[in-house]
Amino acid sequence: MKSHVKSFLIFISLLIFSSITVADDFWEKMNFPDDLVIHLIRSNQNDVLFVDAAFIDTIGLPHGRIYRSLDYASNWEDITPDYNFPGIIDILIGNNGVLFLGTWYGGVYRSYDNGDSFEQVNDGLSNTVPTELSQQSDGTLYAGQFWGGGVDYSVDEGGQWYQTTFPILGVNGLGINSNDAIFASYDGIVYSEDNGVTWSERNNGLTNSAMINFKCFAFAQNDEVFTGTVDGIYFSTNNGELWDNCLSCSSVYQMSIKNNMIFAGTSDDGIYFSEDEGNSWSQKNEGLDLLTVYSIAFDSENYVWCNTPEGIYRSMNDLVSIGSVNSSQKDLIIYPNPCDNTVNLFLPELNYQNVIIEFFGLNGKMIHKIERKTAEFLPNVFSFNVSTLEPGIYLVKVKLDDNLNRIEKLVIQ
| pLDDT tens by residue, 353-406 | 778 888 887 666 788 888 888 776 666 777 888 888 888 888 788 877 766 566
Measured CA to CA, the distance from residue 221 to residue 319 in angstroms comes to 16
What is the average pLDDT value for the chain, to the nearest integer? 84
* Amino acid identity for residue 390 in this structure: E
Give the DSSP H/E element, type plus range, for residue 403: strand 403-412
Q: Are 218 and 278 in contact (CB under 8 A)?
A: no
Q: Render 293-323 in DSSP notation, one character per residue.
A: --EEEE-TT--EEEEETTEEEEESS-HHHHH
Q: What is the pLDDT of residue 349?
A: 64
CA R_g for the chain? 23
Strand-by-strand arrangement of the 304-308 sheet: 27-30, 311-315, 304-308, 295-298
- Quick one: average pLDDT of 168-183? 90
pTM of the model: 0.76
Q: Are 192 and 180 in contact (CB under 8 A)?
A: no
Name the 3-class secondary structure at 130.
strand
Residue 324 has pLDDT above 90, yes or no: no
Across 178-187, 218-227, 319-328, 401-410, least confident range: 319-328
Q: Which residue, among 122, 12, 90, 46, has the nearest Cα to 379 in the 3D structure?
A: 12
Give the DSSP H/E element, type plus range, for residue 196: none
| pLDDT tens by residue, 161-174 | 999 999 988 888 89
What is the percentage of the chain residues whose pLDDT exceeds 70?
A: 86
All domains in the chain, ordered by first residue: 2-21+331-412 (2.60.40.3080), 27-328 (2.130.10.10)
